[in-house]
Amino acid sequence: MEAGARVWCTDTDGDEAWLFAEVVKKEDAIIHLFQVDKPGNKFSRDISTEAAAIGEIKYKGVELANAKLSDEEKEQGLDDDLITLPHLHEPALLHAVSERFFDGKIYTWTGPILIAVNPFQRLPLYTSEILESYRREGLLRSQGLGDGDSSLGPHVYAIADRAYRQMMGEQRKSQAVLISGESGAGRRNP
């Protein structure tokens, strides 16, 4: 981690889980940082003793941040699947899901798994037109006519269509859909 690198650091003094920071200076066993959205908040982190024992340079509670995607890259759906992130760790995943949520996208793929964030409001995500578009895309994909990459974003309808088509296809694969969440999170109703 060189000066100017963007990182996530655990918040040891406040209420946040992670702070978005920038490396100011790197010394032998310590890095100096400042919080990006509060430049006056300067702090440092020591090298991790576990990492130092195996000859790895890793600082306590510090993870590299992913580069910010442009609006064009987001429109292309490059933020649809968390698996495409260069750095996969807790703050990167939380930040990516949060960014999508604030862009009005409550669904995110992580490989074949769909993550949904409850918006605590009704959204126009479950119309007949949207259902039909996912059904049509699933039909084309099942006939080998789809391009493999979904032009539609992550959605619960994509999960339902894939499970149905695999269950009713030639091989009749059994399906299970696990829906998990806190009480009152909206698991029963779209």
Whole-model pTM: value is: 0.83
- In whole angstroms, what is the distance from residue 83 CA to residue 53 CA? 30
Q: What are phi and psi of 103, to 5 degrees?
A: -90, 5
Q: For the segment 20-38, what is each residue's pLDDT rounded down to a tens digit?
A: 999 999 988 899 999 999 9
Residue 190: the pLDDT is: 53
pLDDT above 70: percentage of residues in the chain: 89
> Helical H runs in 8-150?
49-53, 71-75, 90-102, 128-142
